[in-house]
A and B are shown apart, each in its own frame.
Chain A
């Protein structure tokens, strides 16, 4: 981990980021990434971020990052959201796979995959869940049978974010069913698979709001080189668990995104003439307070991390909090719009509103549904509550197999 940032160093970096974003952020917002055209534009934007040196500022310099400490990483995120820059489509690859490769990957694997990952020349997706294995992820059944120097993969993965646009998938597969029968977490491997391999079929999933940002992937006798296993064969569970912290907590700087969402919420209330409506003030105040609390928590965790503390036990607490807060923000917006909440993004709901507010409203329902998804993905909030009660509070275990 890099050295703690000095206040002056952070301020200088912040100014540099702000100037770069002011020059490069597209004036017109990009179309949603959930359709091909929008996705390609977002991908091009990730490329520009990479060229500017901003794809992953906290990554070590040896892998193409800037070795930015936590304070600079937070400053980058704050500036990014403040500038209204496009949604990041490469975060999953950068922070779910990247750290795994750096920690468990061979030098050859790192050299082969990391540069294209960082530059967003390759889009990676995560293949963990299966139709029968959600919260009980370790019950997964997609098999990978050894055949010479290849594995032959058969099975199905589901709820794959950006699966319809991805080039590669990192998946959990069962390489040793015998070991799995003794202990289900054993005999699982972390395998990288080129989605263009013969026998792979990607089917986009149309989600509840009609968008197609997710997919399911079917594997039929897909041959994958043994060298594509990350970490030890049969020990993939530990490798996979090391990535979950990202989805659950350690996303430093995303508080700025929520603060921006709450500013949009205030603008919606203002455009509806609710400035003096005590009910609206109560609702707005509640979510505003949550975002302020979350910001304080981000800085606390950063300080904890700088002091060498472990963040694993905070990840579940963080995940429950931010996902509920995010839901509260978008749910509140729909309720403040009252009967007009039943109409998706209608500018007529906000007469006289400025362009930024109308844009926020046009995306509101989509963001609302995403917020619902967030309480489910990355380990449902109910699973997080099990983790918190057992591992943080020390309450007795549930009986489980």
Chain B
């Protein structure tokens, strides 16, 4: 095993430890009861462990790691349905600020590293609603022409909308001020989009994995006709089909996030997110079906992950939209090749 692999494994183990201790069902329950998602306490834990600053350069107080270090971490965050803007702040915002150095980055990166500020990133049509915007101190707006502007809280108007997933609150954001131009670089926009799309795929794969685990656990103990329902082939084959999709979605998501800087990074991210959306949709339907009535209750926690996968599938590119874009690219390429 390489040092790199060992580092990645340790980061996932660290994340799992922190989340088991501080983001268990009791934490999620309390958030639902309070009607809040983000808490300074949990975010502070994530910052303390260095996960929030993993991608930040060392001269800004971070660990200077590459995205490839974090794919497994994102998967774990999805598995635990973490109600925090980790992808938005710790991956997307830190990457944008790191790529466009200047006074804005110098001001905000240390705050993010310290766990004292949250930032969200707007990516055109990929983000009609911004998750966790109501908690954010900074908005980074990445336009298709490559320009990147930063808006402080005072320069935005944030209108919360009723989010399907209450642990991942959404808002409509309008900018009211001029903002500050950080720079103009199409490569930064493309890379950030790929990070968002592949990162969401990792979160989705993790959340779908949890739905599978909850389901396997339940059908293993729930008895009807004198035996566990999980011993009936009708149930086992559904679970097996789901396991195939979740396993493949995980393979594609993690490798796409790791390969975000490869020449085909954008299309790999798109394929991974499209498939993760499919797998998550299957997990959503089958997990509830195989749980039966208990899965419908507020008291049982399945709904946390049902809504998490639905919300994530609708974010950072839907399966349908991503597939169509990929199909258009392929058609154009093949037509070109076969004409020549």
Same assembly: yes
Q: Which residues of A are interface residues toward B (Cβ below 8 A)?
A: 262-263, 266-267, 269-270, 275, 278, 280-282, 284-286, 288-290, 292-294, 296-297, 299-300, 307, 314, 317, 320-321, 354, 356-357, 382, 384-386, 388-390, 392-398
Given that A393-B216, A396-B228 are known contacts, is A288 also in contact with B271, CB under 8 Å in the complex? yes
Q: Is the CB of B338 within 8 A of A356?
A: yes
Q: Is B268 an interface residue (CB 8 A)?
A: yes
23 contacts between A and B (CB under 8 A): A267-B338, A270-B331, A270-B335, A275-B328, A282-B320, A288-B323, A289-B274, A289-B278, A289-B326, A292-B252, A292-B326, A293-B272, A296-B255, A300-B254, A320-B240, A354-B339, A357-B338, A385-B240, A388-B243, A390-B236, A392-B240, A398-B231, A398-B236
Q: Is the CB of A388 within 8 A of B244?
A: yes
Q: Is the CB of B330 within 8 A of A288?
A: yes
Number of inter-chain CB pairs below 8 Å = 146
The 8 closest A-B pairs by CB, nearest first: A285-B323, A292-B271, A389-B236, A396-B231, A285-B327, A385-B240, A388-B240, A284-B327
Closest A residue by C-beta to B215:
A393
A392 to B247, CA, bound (A): 11
A314 to B251, CA, bound (A): 12
A216 to B230, CA, bound (A): 38
Please indicate the chain B residues that have their CB under 8 angstroms from the CB of A320 in the complex.
240-241, 244
Q: Is the CB of A395 within 8 A of B219?
A: yes
Q: Is B100 an interface residue (CB 8 A)?
A: no
Given that A293-B249, A393-B216 are known contacts, is A263 also in contact with B330, CB under 8 Å in the complex? yes
Within the complex, what minimum Cβ distance (angstroms) separates B313 from chain A?
Answer: 14
Q: Which residues of B are interface residues toward A (Cβ below 8 A)?
A: 1, 5, 212, 216, 219-220, 227-228, 230-231, 233, 235-237, 239-241, 243-244, 247-249, 251-252, 254-256, 267-268, 271-272, 274-275, 278, 320, 322-328, 330-331, 334-335, 338-339
Closest A residue by C-beta to B246:
A317
Q: Is the CB of B231 within 8 A of A284?
A: no
Please indicate the chain B residues that have their CB under 8 angstroms from the CB of A292 in the complex.
252, 267-268, 271-272, 275, 326
Q: Is the CB of B239 within 8 A of A321?
A: no
A386 to B240, CA, bound (A): 8
A288 to B326, CA, bound (A): 8
15 other A-B residue contacts (CB within 8 Å) besides A293-B275, A296-B252: A267-B338, A270-B331, A275-B328, A281-B331, A282-B320, A285-B325, A288-B327, A288-B330, A292-B268, A296-B256, A389-B240, A390-B236, A395-B216, A395-B230, A395-B231
Please indicate the chain B residues that have their CB under 8 angstroms from the CB of A354 in the complex.
338-339
Partner of B239, one of A290, A297, A356, A389: A389
Closest B residue by C-beta to A4:
B2
Closest A residue by C-beta to B332:
A275
Please indicate the chain B residues that have their CB under 8 angstroms from the CB of A314 in the complex.
247
A386 to B256, CA, bound (A): 30
Closest A residue by C-beta to B220:
A395
Most A CB contacts (10 A, CB to CB) among B219, B231, B248, B275 go to B248
Please indicate the chain A residues that have their CB under 8 angstroms from the CB of B227 in the complex.
396
Q: Is the CB of B243 within 8 A of A290?
A: no
Within the complex, what minimum Cβ distance (angstroms) separates A395 from chain B?
Answer: 4
Closest B residue by C-beta to A284:
B327
A262 to B327, CA, bound (A): 10
Within the complex, what minimum Cβ distance (angstroms) separates B274 from chain A?
Answer: 5
Please indicate the chain A residues that have their CB under 8 angstroms from the CB of B251 in the complex.
293, 296-297, 300
Q: Is the CB of A293 within 8 A of B271?
A: yes
Within the complex, what minimum Cβ distance (angstroms) separates B211 from chain A?
Answer: 13
Q: Is the CB of A289 within 8 A of B275?
A: yes
Please indicate the chain A residues that have their CB under 8 angstroms from the CB of B244 in the complex.
317, 320-321, 388
A275 to B333, CA, bound (A): 12
Please indicate the chain A residues that have their CB under 8 angstroms from the CB of B327 in the complex.
266, 280-282, 284-285, 288
Please indicate the chain A residues that have their CB under 8 angstroms from the CB of B275 in the complex.
289-290, 292-293
Please indicate the chain B residues that have their CB under 8 angstroms from the CB of A392 in the complex.
240, 243
Closest B residue by C-beta to A325:
B248
Please indicate the chain A residues that have their CB under 8 angstroms from the CB of B1 in the complex.
307
Q: Is the CB of B248 within 8 A of A294?
A: yes
Please indicate the chain B residues that have their CB under 8 angstroms from the CB of A267 in the complex.
334-335, 338
A293 to B322, CA, bound (A): 14
Please indicate the chain B residues that have their CB under 8 angstroms from the CB of A263 in the complex.
330, 334
Most B CB contacts (10 A, CB to CB) among A286, A317, A321, A393 go to A393
Closest B residue by C-beta to A269:
B331
Closest A residue by C-beta to B338:
A354
Please indicate the chain A residues that have their CB under 8 angstroms from the CB of B243 in the complex.
317, 388-389, 392-393
Partner of B328, one of A281, A293, A388, A390: A281
A357 to B331, CA, bound (A): 13
Q: Is the CB of A382 within 8 A of B323?
A: no
Partner of B252, one of A278, A293, A388, A396: A293
A395 to B5, CA, bound (A): 31
A394 to B230, CA, bound (A): 10
A394 to B331, CA, bound (A): 43
Please indicate the chain B residues that have their CB under 8 angstroms from the CB of A300 in the complex.
251, 254-255
A266 to B323, CA, bound (A): 13
A289 to B275, CA, bound (A): 7
Within the complex, what minimum Cβ distance (angstroms) separates B234 from chain A?
Answer: 11
Given that A300-B251, A321-B248, A395-B230 are known contacts, is A266 also in contact with B241, CB under 8 Å in the complex? no
A389 to B235, CA, bound (A): 9
A382 to B236, CA, bound (A): 10
Within the complex, what minimum Cβ distance (angstroms) separates A396 from chain B?
Answer: 4
A145 to B219, CA, bound (A): 47
Closest A residue by C-beta to B245:
A321
A279 to B275, CA, bound (A): 18
A293 to B319, CA, bound (A): 14
A269 to B330, CA, bound (A): 11
Please indicate the chain A residues that have their CB under 8 angstroms from the CB of B330 in the complex.
262-263, 266, 284, 288
Within the complex, what minimum Cβ distance (angstroms) separates A266 from chain B?
Answer: 4
Closest A residue by C-beta to B216:
A393
Within the complex, what minimum Cβ distance (angstroms) separates B239 from chain A?
Answer: 5
A278 to B248, CA, bound (A): 26
Closest B residue by C-beta to A263:
B334
